Amino acid sequence: MERFVTDERTGLKYELVGDYYLIAGDDEPEEDRPIGIWGQRHLRYLREHHRVRYANLLTSGELNAYLADIDRQAEELFLRLVKQMADAEGITETLKASDQMEWVRRMNNVRSRAFEIVEADIIYT
């Protein structure tokens, strides 16, 4: 039996899988972009609280691209917020050089607040 067969009438291409011919997809494989921590958190949120939306994205083949986009947006927002808050509070390299523990304490505070903002605005919506 041939591995690929084309139906002359419809023009569809079939592939032999086991004992059956299935329609061979000409689609490009889904883009495999990495999903970071933000995308994984949003995925868990969708699975637990928005099952229909999750199922629709999964069956349409758009889930990976959607999560990668969420991850990118969240990471950009997080970095922008950290920079803006650090600048607004006067957390500089001079402070880092003079009092490292104070700099770490203040930066951890800023990162924690930015993390909560990103979760509230992007991940859990």
Confidence of residue 27 (pLDDT cuts 50, 70, 90): low
Averaged pLDDT, 91-108: 96
Distance between CA 85 and CA 99 in Å, rounded? Answer: 19
pTM over 0.75: no
Quick one: which of 55, 61, 118 has its CA closest to 84? Answer: 118
Q: What is the pLDDT, as a whole number, of residue 97?
A: 96
Q: Are 61 and 25 in contact (CB under 8 A)?
A: no
Distance between CA 55 and CA 16 in Å, rounded? Answer: 28
Among 30-34, 40-44, 114-118, the range scoring the smallest mean pLDDT is 30-34
Q: Are 65 and 33 in contact (CB under 8 A)?
A: yes
